[in-house]
């Protein structure tokens, strides 16, 4: 693979508790009820009202929109080496592959089930695509390996954002760029009367582990 060598301290397998909601997402993928995107999306449009198929269509539009926004913010260019951390089912890499050529694209995830789904993706643009199982706070790559690093709605699962960001800084080239989206709780959710602690409990139960909220 071009531009990303294994870090000498890499451990081939790291045990980590996985979020239970991915069981449902994997089942939805395997049964044709979802696409490759595993994130919540970018809702900058008005959903269609009162249509039986609108909900799933709206979700896919929002998910595609978030991928487009991330790629635009990252200022991705032809010929770059790109790392997607917590790559889900490979949706973002599929999107980059459809738009650019001469790319070295790497997706990593702690969950081999998700990587198995990613392995079924083939480049449509003759790009190099690689998938790897890894601890996301101990990246298995040499210093200065990547032009662009993405992390879309995954940081809240990591043991430490500080450790993760230090690792990203290490593997990015001096002119590189990290682009990501995260989830955080506000003190007073503007659209809900539910107390914050109850929202956090529900999220932790359905989307945990959430070690660094």
**Reported confidence tier of residue 48, pLDDT bands at 50, 70, 90:** low
pTM of the model: 0.82
Specify whether the CB–CB gap between 167 and 137 falls below 8 A.
yes
Predicted confidence at residue 67, as pLDDT, reads 94
With a CB cutoff of 8 Å and minimum separation 6, the contacts of 30 are none
Residue with the larger pLDDT of the pair 32 and 144: 144
**Reported confidence tier of residue 207, pLDDT bands at 50, 70, 90:** confident
Query: In the chain, what are the domains?
Result: 21-37+53-182+191-207 (3.40.50.150)
pLDDT over 60 (residue 27):
yes
Taking the C-alpha atoms of residue 196 and residue 192, their distance in angstroms, rounded to an integer, is 9
Q: Among all chains, which residue has been given the structure tokens 């790319």?
A: 103
Q: Both tokens of residue 67?
A: 């991928």
- The answer, yes or no, to whether the previous bond of 209 is cis (omega within 30 of 0) is yes
Beta bridge partners, 107, equal 84, 131
Residue with the larger pLDDT of the pair 17 and 134: 134
Predicted confidence at residue 199, as pLDDT, reads 74
- Summarize pLDDT for 11-25 with one digit per residue, the tens: 333 346 777 888 888
Specify whether the CB–CB gap between 88 and 34 falls below 8 A.
no
């Amino acid at each position: 693979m071009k531009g990303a060598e294994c870090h000498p301290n890499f451990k081939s397998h790291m045990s980590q508790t996985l979020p239970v909601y991915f069981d449902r997402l994997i089942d939805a993928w395997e049964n044709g009820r979802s696409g490759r995107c595993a994130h919540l999306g970018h809702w900058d449009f008005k959903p269609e009202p009162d249509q039986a198929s609108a909900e799933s269509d709206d979700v896919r539009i929002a998910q595609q929109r978030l991928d487009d926004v991330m790629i635009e913010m990252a200022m991705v260019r032809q010929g770059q080496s790109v790392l997607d951390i917590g790559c889900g089912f490979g949706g973002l890499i599929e999107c980059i592959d459809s738009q650019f050529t001469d790319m070295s694209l790497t997706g990593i995830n702690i969950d081999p089930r998700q990587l198995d789904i990613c392995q079924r993706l083939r480049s449509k643009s003759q790009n190099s695509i690689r998938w790897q199982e890894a601890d996301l706070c101990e990246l298995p790559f040499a210093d200065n390996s990547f032009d662009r690093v993405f992390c879309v709605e995954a940081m809240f699962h990591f043991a430490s954002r500080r450790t993760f960001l230090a690792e990203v800084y290490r593997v990015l080239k001096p002119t590189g760029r990290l682009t990501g989206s995260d989830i955080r709780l506000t003190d007073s959710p503007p659209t809900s009367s539910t107390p914050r602690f109850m929202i956090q409990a529900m999220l932790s139960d359905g989307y945990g582990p959430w070690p660094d909220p």
